Amino acid sequence: MQRRFLFTITILTAVILLSCQKDTGFENKDLYGKWMQKESFDGYAMGGSYTWHSVAPQHADTLQFLSNNEFRMNGPLRKCTGTFIQLADSLEINSNCNTRPEVLRIEKLTNSELITVRAVREGVIKDRYIALE
What is the tens place of the pLDDT at every residue in 34-91? 999 999 999 987 888 899 999 999 999 999 999 999 999 999 999 999 999 998 899 9
Q: pTM of the full predicted structure? A: 0.76
Tell me the pairing of strands 70-74 and 123-131: unpaired
CATH code reported for the domain at 27-131 = 2.40.128.20
What angle is formed at CA 24 by the lines to CA 18 and CA 27, rounded to 5 degrees?
Answer: 105
Name the residue ranges covered by the structural domains of the chain. Answer: 27-131
Burial string for 52-73 (b: 16+ CB within 10 Å, else e) reads eeebeeeebbbbbbeeeeebbb
